[in-house]
Amino acid sequence: MTSQRRLLVGIMQDSPSHLDAATLLAIAKQRDPRIDRATAYRTIALLKDRGLIDELDLMHLEGEKHYYEAKTSRDHCHMACFGCGGIIEYASPAFENLKREMAKRGDFQIRVVRLEVGGYCRHCARPGGKQ
Amino acid sequence: MTSQRRLLVGIMQDSPSHLDAATLLAIAKQRDPRIDRATAYRTIALLKDRGLIDELDLMHLEGEKHYYEAKTSRDHCHMACFGCGGIIEYASPAFENLKREMAKRGDFQIRVVRLEVGGYCRHCARPGGKQ
DNA sequence: ATAACTGCAAATCTTTTGCTTACAG
DNA sequence: CTGTAAGCAAAAGATTTGCAGTTAT
């Protein structure tokens, strides 16, 4: 792995939030101004292929871009609030069970799982809305 | 709902497969040649807001476009095969349970759920790959 | 009337590609 | 050496927007 790739992976691991390609590139440029967009995108594609990062859409809350996060040991889902734009991560045994069930009953070799939920968080909850 | 919207919804309901915006537009144009791209996109956005259709990415198997399907009574997940490009739909009580659990334990009013899985189907299964 | 919908053309935004030079094993 | 990676500039693809004219309530 080259230094540029290490740099990009490091940024993703360090970041507390989910970064889109443009933001990731901007941060990388602070440390090495000549990193190019193409390099960022090519590296992202490569890391995604190797299963080192996950790609998210976060319900396209702000445009069509994608977000990335370093893969963690435990898969988790993302709940995106249409009210405040916040992202809540959620992991549970029930999610693991569902994955196992899909792999087995669906006879499918799972490589990537993406579970995203859109709605309203505790603070933005709508009085009327139940589900 | 205007006639154009009815037309677009009708196409989505009738289609056995998942349509992207461009294909949807092409089909609609066969019936009414002056429907414009903008109308298709605006209608899609509106239907999505009202919860009448679901938007899918299908793991971006062929580019960054989105796919749409008329909302069904039962949420289901989509398994996209990296080998043959096929899409398998999968619904199960375990999925429903997970949704309930997320809403309750995460204290979240769910409006949209999108569960997409990428990997290899029965026919494209890789000898070595287990998960 | 008043508000919502449409077509058309142009713009925007994100991501990808071709090509040449620079590096790493 | 030989293949892979990086920079640069231009292209491609999907979706959105401004505006003027049309339709529906």
Q: Tell me the H-state helices in A83-126.
A: 93-105
pTM for this structure? 0.91
Q: Does position B127 have pLDDT exceeding 70, yes or no? A: no
- Give yes or no for A129 touching B (CB within 8 A): yes
Strand C nucleotides within a 7 Å radius of protein CB atoms? 5-10, 13-18, 24
Q: How far apart are CA B84 and CA B78, in angstroms?
A: 14
Widest CA span of chain A, in angstroms?
A: 53
Cβ contacts of A61 on chain B, cutoff 8 Å: none
Task: Spell out the residues 6+ positions from residue B131 whose beta carbon is closer than 8 angstroms to its own.
Answer: A103, A109, A110
Q: Which CATH number fits domain B1-71: 1.10.357.10, 3.20.20.140, 2.30.30.100, 1.10.10.10?
A: 1.10.10.10
Cβ contacts of A120 on chain B, cutoff 8 Å: 108-109, 111
Task: Spell out the residues 6+ positions from residue B35 whose beta carbon is closer than 8 angstroms to its own.
Answer: B4, B7, B25, B28, B29
Give which of B49, B59, B84, B108 to mutate to test A binding, by max A Cβ within 10 Å.
Answer: B108
Instruction: Provide the 10 A C-beta neighbour count for residue A8.
Output: 26
Vertex A125 angle, CA A120 and A128, to 5°: 115
Instruction: Provide the 10 A C-beta neighbour count for residue A62.
Output: 9
Query: Which candidate from B90, B101, B129 shows the least CB-CB separation from A106?
Result: B90
| Nearest CA among A53, A119, A38 for reference residue A86 | A119
Q: Tokens at residue A119, please?
A: 């709605």
* pLDDT confidence bin for A1, thresholds 50/70/90: low
* pLDDT confidence bin for A15, thresholds 50/70/90: confident
**Domain locations in chain A?**
1-71, 73-131
- Give yes or no for B108 touching A (CB within 8 A): yes
Q: Which residue of B has its CA nearest to A100?
A: B131
Summarised one tens digit per residue, pLDDT across range B15-34 is 888 999 999 999 999 999 99
Vertex B109 angle, CA B51 and A58, to 5°: 70
Architecture of domain A73-131: 2-Layer Sandwich (3.30)
Summarised one tens digit per residue, pLDDT across range A26-40 is 999 999 999 999 999
Q: Does position B108 have pLDDT exceeding 60, yes or no? A: yes
* pLDDT confidence bin for B130, thresholds 50/70/90: very low
